[in-house]
Amino acid sequence: MTEALFRSDPDLAAAPAAVRAHTPEGGLILDRTVFYPQGGGQPGDSGVIDWAGGRLAIVSAVKGEGGAVVLVAAGAPLPPVGAAVTQRLDWDRRHLHMRVHTALHLLSVVIPRPVTGGAIGAGSGRLDFDLPEPPADRAALEAALAALVARDLAVGEEWIDVAALDANPGLVKTMAVQPPRGEGRVRLVRIGAGAETVDLQPCGGTHVARTGEIGTVRIARIENKGRQNRRVTIALDPPPPRPD
């Protein structure tokens, strides 16, 4: 199993590691990683790996067997098994994913309908809703999102066991995809705290620490994608500068 540094500290952009294995397809497995593997609509991270013998571009990361994270390399050679390396994210791209992912959680708050699909990109994303008619007032949606961002609510995680999740089916907003239950517990992402909580749902992705970090959210498009399916696409303004 790869230690998921991206989960314990999503703001960590670089970290040392050791090469644990190569995959037959030419991928790289480290003992610990800052690279988020593709899943839940969020793309895998990209960046570079440095070691004494060279540098390797990483174009994505995917889930492997047994809890491993496989880094998808662009080219060769790979650092040898056992080598000490430094991994560095393309931070600007990751931070955009974090901002968009958190903003989509807020979108599911202002449109409180079951979610039928979604995707996250670097600066934009979308959710599909089980909704008979498209939202009529785009300006009202943007204002509701802006109000939640402006409250600068804390974004955190907690874990519950599968039995507790099954006893609270309303926590799961997605209709087609259920959270993985293989570990016996499920990660929840909470936006707000106590009486200030506005959202609590299963999610394995990376998020910003507070909603104020999202910035300005615009409703880019609202589309009909079937008799009961309405797609809402959001876009973010350019990111604020990363603190030194």
Burial 209-220 (b: 16+ CB within 10 A, else e): ebbebbeebebe
Q: Do residues 105 and 216 both lie within one domain?
A: yes
Residue 136 is predicted with a pLDDT of: 83
Which positions ≥6 away from 128 have C-beta within 8 Å?
Answer: 115, 116, 117, 118, 225, 229, 230, 231, 232
Work out how many domains the chain is built from and give that number: 2
Q: Do residues 108 and 214 both lie within one domain?
A: yes
Q: Do residues 131 and 21 both lie within one domain?
A: no
Q: Is residue 82 within 8 Å of residue 101, measured between CB atoms?
A: no
Determine, yes or no, domain membership for 230. yes
Residue 75 is predicted with a pLDDT of: 83
Determine, yes or no, domain membership for 242. no
Residue 182 is predicted with a pLDDT of: 61
Range of the domain at 44: 3-89
Give the rounded distance of the alpha carbon of 32 from its chain centre: 18
Residue with tokens 């079937």: 226
| Angstrom distance (rounded) from CA 240 to CA 203 | 25
Residue 61 is predicted with a pLDDT of: 97
Residue 180 is predicted with a pLDDT of: 66
Strands (DSSP E) found in 23-171 = 28-30, 32-33, 47-51, 54-63, 69-74, 84-89, 115-120, 124-130, 155-161
Q: What is the CA radius of gyration of the chain?
A: 19
Q: Do residues 42 and 132 both lie within one domain?
A: no
| Angstrom distance (rounded) from CA 191 to CA 202 | 12
| Angstrom distance (rounded) from CA 39 to CA 221 | 24
Is residue 36 classed as helix, strand or coil in its secondary structure? coil
Residue 166 is predicted with a pLDDT of: 82
| Angstrom distance (rounded) from CA 42 to CA 122 | 10
pLDDT in tens, 114-163: 999 999 999 999 999 999 888 889 999 999 999 999 999 999 999 989 88
| Angstrom distance (rounded) from CA 209 to CA 68 | 26
The low-confidence residues of the chain, meaning pLDDT below 50, are 243-244
Residue 141 is predicted with a pLDDT of: 95
